[in-house]
Structure 1
Amino acid sequence: MSFDLKQPEVTIGVVGHVDHGKTTLVQALTGIWTMRHSMEVRESRTIFLGYADGEVWECHGCDYPDRYTPEPVCECKPGVKPRLLRRISFLDAPGHETLMAVMLSGVALMDGALLVIAANEPCPQPQTREHLAALEIIGVKRIIIVQNKIDVVSRERVLKNYDEIQRFIRGTIAEDAPIIPVSALKRVNVDALLAAIQKYIPTTERELDKPPLMYVIRSFDVNKPGTPPDKIVGGVLGGALIQGILRVGDEIEIRPGIEVRRTSSGKREYEPVLTRVEGLRFGDINVDKAMPGGLVAVATSLDPSMTKANAMVGNIVGKPGQLPPVLDSITIHYSLFDKILGLKEEIKVEPLRRGEQLYLTIGSSNVIGVVDSIKKDVADIKLDRSISVWKGSRVAISRRVMGRWRLIGWGIVEV
């Protein structure tokens, strides 16, 4: 299928253990440092889902993989004009164990993933294992292993780490994934990584004839303090289309919408929101229409107070009346892991219990649920707030263990 190269064609997640160099890798591929939030700068770690658009250029006549470059500059043959192959959105997921829910909410948007593993630490680390399990749960099959930080260890350690990686991925969804050694900091082997991305994470066919559906993973008020009232613009939704086409001028519905009240029991109730698409933007490129394949910012006519500070995260956007139903309870067909993956010590995963509180990730939505009933591998779960969800959606299941939510299994929504 022919794509308009004004927008990215795929979204690639960058995942892995904390401090393994994910954000530095995204910068090497795009030139953009994704840790923008003041809290991230202060703590020097990724806290929210970061995003950046990059490009893949090809220099004809150069050797493989030297011909691939993230910039329109040919280093092997100065003066030769490279050809733009495609644009790619990179989604930088936090690697800290306390931010697993944030990582999970971004997996549903990924067409493929770069699993970053640092050569200067034994493999696997806890969140290396947990992030790979998350990719498998949600069904992200196109994976490339990036063996990072090869510049800070000896050749012997690089080879030993390579063997550790091979043993780790044996029998997993990433068993046949290529392992590309790189130094993200010094931009070593970026050409080889781009070559692997072109080969192993191709642009896929999209369901453009279906009604548009978009997961919201960020939302913003882009007005600076002191903006005059007549200059204020509407709120912005950030996310990715999973099907269909959005156009400037379209009327859209947001479900479940905004919280309107809390019941005496503490349950939050929502109402859908209608608004209009005022603009569409991929990185620094404005477009008239958006298709699946990249991370898009949707400018709306919403009061910006409704979208500030990621208030709309977890919603689904589409045409009015064409979105999935809003539910406050679901039935899932589930499967649990044998052991909890995000810990260094081995802890067995116990069966679900009636009345137990779970943390569920469905699409870009994170929600607390209480197990109402269990029958074999089917569970009825009451949610603490309504979500928009359809039958067949994948669910990541987490349980509170040692004071934190830990990934323990997965499920499929039946109703």
Structure 2
Amino acid sequence: MARTHDTVNVMIGTAGHIDHGKTALVRLLTGCETDTLEEEKRRGLTINLGFAPCKLSNNSQVGIVDVPGHEKFIKNMVAGVAGIDTVLLVVAADDGIMPQTREHLSIVELLGVKKGLVAVTKIDMVEQEMTELVIEELRDYLKGSFLEDAPICPVSSITGDGFEKFYKALSEIVSSVKPREVTGVFRLPVERAFILKGYGTVVTGIPFSGRVAVGDTLELLPGGKTCRVRGMQVYNEMADEGFAGECVALNVTDLSQQEIVRGMCLVTPGYFEPTPFLSARLKLLGSSPSALKNRTPVRFHTGTTEVMGRVILLESSVLEPGQEALVQFRLDDDIVVGPGDNYIIRLNSPVVTVGGGILLSGGRRKLKQFKQWIIDDLVEKESSITNQARFVEHLVKEGRHTPVRIPDLAKKANMPRDQLSTLINELVEARKVVKVGGKDLYIHVLPFEDLEQKVTSVLQDYHDRKPVSLGMSRVDLRKGLKLDTTLLDELVSSMTSSGAMIEESGLLRLSSFKVSLDRKRIKLKREIEEQLKADRFKPPQAEGLAKILKTSPKIVTELLVLSAQEGTLISLDGIYFHADAIEEARKILIDTLKEHEKIGAASFRDVLGTTRKFAYALLEHFDLTGVTVRIENLRYLKGAGT
């Protein structure tokens, strides 16, 4: 269904003290009554959030959320302004700056709002001189804040005086605000849920990111129950889709009103994971009544969520008013957040807003105080959080020596997989990230280079211990490094391509390594090989060869291994044969089976003129290499009708 207005996904939020005329100004601006509850109308104050469409001078439409001004309803106020892009600070000319004026301004500033304007209301109730004094007071008060240079517009919601200038200023401010990106993953912090007769469950709120369309499947978190969007309204008009920064009402299936509470989120399935532990940058307001100690209980607000928890100071034991620090919040319940979300905290006693900041990441691991590597990691994450490519690179780097997958990265970044894949491929092209094998696995180049150094160290240690060995098998190297096969294969491929490593006959060695034998050992090695070739099917092993050649079994063992690595000898479970002897035994076995069809170990022993031990080792080898097949205790030629 087409919309009747050119809607821009920007949300205005009101702020200001109770009874300063926020709702009346919104009514004048939009023609909408945002106090909809009977109690609100009876008591003449805003309790819950009110949403309305606001038509600007350029004929485009944005949203406006009217928040309560009473200190008892601050949690409702925070839930409203959490999704706004610009603020309308309302101050009554007959009252001036009041406690909730100050607290509301602190809250919107902590929540990352950068633009806005100020309306001085109720000018019809005071002399012009009083209005001018309030404007002067505001200019002094707003110095150093994001509203320092904002327009201050006197306006009466009763007579309409000043409205034209106010309306023009508001339109100009909103036009300068960049609309929300709608390419991300959909996330809607629930503002409220209710039953609409004839339709069923309706969920309202301001999406933080992405878009939603009729027919989409969404997931309710925490909980994980899924639902389908049957229909929707955007600013009270039927629509086929809604975007971040708009006020949407979703008619959903498979969810009851009782299952949904404010603070939960409707999200695209598979991208978010509720968490109780949040790392963050915290700024303690200079107006805080006291310093903040480690493990102080706080009321934590983000999105439409309010949850109790404790703040863990990671860099110090105490945070003084006006200071900033890296912290971890340990909350009493799981909540859904995204990197870069803003938040505020309030004390339990007195119940006042004392600080806020930006969330960096969630998880289930408790961070320890005074750990420099934890601080360094969070500082790097904080510096990259506004740059998607750098942030994805950091998330890959965070995996350290463990390769990460696209679906896992998508959950950490809350980013669509196709968008994430594009960024990852760019990082691979820039050689900042390494793709591991042909699989959907990635590792940052720095830990990858660190692993290459570890491979070098393990191989160098092997060469030092076994100077006559041609190298180390992949299996032994993998065990020594405790790596999975895919990552080791990528390391070997990288190091052989760069010339740092050589792989021959299934053995790995550093390119700088050379087997060096003195004349005596060269002669001894040749004699060992000749002895095994001469004794063919009854080859003496290390102990026997040591006696024959009058040397130590250790030296003989080293030279046996070297000859096997070179391929002159072959080891069958530790029994060494000359390669020529094995080939001769193979031919004898094939000829015998062609004549007699089958053979047992004892008969093969007699044919070769050897012992059962050697005959059995040779038969096992020929089974493994596909020459024969064993049925019970007999061997047959493989493929010969068996």
TM-score by length of 2: 0.52
Whole-angstrom distance in 1 between the partners of 2:212 and 2:4: 14
In the TM superposition, what is the alpha-carbon distance from 1:374 to its structure 2 partner? 4.4
Q: Which has the higher helix share?
A: 2
Q: Give the corresponding residue for 1:274.
A: 226
Matched, 1:105 2:79: yes
What RMSD over aligned residues (CA atoms) do the two structures have, in Å? 2.0
- Do residues 285 (structure 1) and 258 (structure 2) align? no
Q: Distance in 1 between matches of 2:292 and 2:312?
A: 14
SS across alignment from 1:338: coil
| Residue 253 in structure 1 maps to residue 200 in structure 2 | no
**Secondary structure of the residue that 1:45 maps to in structure 2?**
coil
Counterpart pick for 2:275 among 314, 327, 333? 327
Deviation of 1:290 (Å): 1.1
Of 294, 298, 301 in structure 2, the residue corresponding to residue 353 of structure 1 is: 294
Partners of 2:122 and 2:155 within 8 A in 1: yes
The match for 1:165 among 135, 138, 151 is: 138
Of 7-16 and 20-29, deviating more is 7-16
- CA displacement, residues 204-237 of structure 1 (integer Å, 9 cap, x when unaligned): 24322222222221221223xxxxxxx4x32111
* Greater relative contact order structure (CA < 8 Å, 6+ sep): 1
1:177-199 superposed Cα distances (whole Å, 9 cap, x missing partner): 00011001222222222211221
- Rg larger in structure: 2
Look up the SS of the partner of 1:144 in the other structure: strand
Match of 2:186 in 1: 212
SS in 1 for 2:205: strand
In structure 1, the residue matched to 2:332 is: 384
Change (3 A) 1:9 1:190: farther
Identical positions, percent: 30
The residue aligned with 1:266 is none
Look up the SS of the partner of 2:156 in the other structure. Answer: coil
**Whole-Å Cα distance in 2 between the matches of residues 414 and 283 of structure 1?**
32
Structure-2 separation of matches of 1:351 and 1:372: 10
Task: Report the CA distance shift for 1:293/1:414 in structure 2 as closer, same or farther (over 3 A).
Answer: closer
Runs of 5+ unmatched residues, structure 1: 59-84, 224-230, 257-270, 341-347
TM-score (norm 1): 0.80
Structure 1 285/172 Cα, relative in aligned 2: closer, same or farther at 3 Å? same
Q: Looking at secondary structure, tell me which structure has more strand per residue.
A: 1
**Counterpart of 2:193 in structure 1: which amino acid?**
S
Aligned ranges 1:1-400 → 2 under 5 Å: 5=5, 7=7, 9-57=9-57, 85-122=59-96, 124-202=97-175, 204-223=178-197, 231=198, 233-256=199-222, 271-306=223-258, 311-322=260-271, 324-340=272-288, 348-354=289-295, 356-372=296-312, 374-376=314-316, 377-400=325-348
**Residue ranges of structure 2 left out of the alignment (5+ in a row):** 317-324, 362-642
CA separation in 2, counterparts of 1:199 and 1:6?
17
Would the aligned equivalents of 1:236 and 1:304 in 2 still touch at CA under 8 Å?
no
* Structure 1 residue 171 displacement after superposition: 1.3
Asked if 1 retains the 8 angstrom alpha-carbon contact of 2:9 and 2:62, the reply is yes
Q: 1-side partners of 2:181 and 2:299: how far apart?
A: 31
Equivalent residues of 1:115, 1:145 under 8 A apart: yes
Q: For each residue in 1:94-135, what CA deviation from the matched residue of structure 2 results, as whole angstroms up to 9, or x when unmatched?
A: 11111112111222210111000111113x211111111111
**Structure 1 residues 214-267: Cα deviation after superposition (integer angstroms, max 9, x where no partner):** 2221221223xxxxxxx4x321111112322211000111212xxxxxxxxxxx
Q: 1:237–1:312: 8 Å Cα contact kept in structure 2?
A: no
What letter corresponds to residue 48 of structure 1 in structure 2?
Answer: N
CA distance in 2, matches of 1:296, 1:370: 33
* Structure 2 counterpart SS, 1:172: coil
SS in 2 for 1:210: coil
**1:188 aligns to what SS in structure 2?**
coil
Partner SS for 2:24: helix
The count of corresponding residues between Structure 1 and Structure 2 is 350
Write the distance in 1 (CA, Å) between the matches of 2:8 and 2:194.
21
Question: What amino acid does structure 2 have at the position aligned with 1:363?
Answer: G
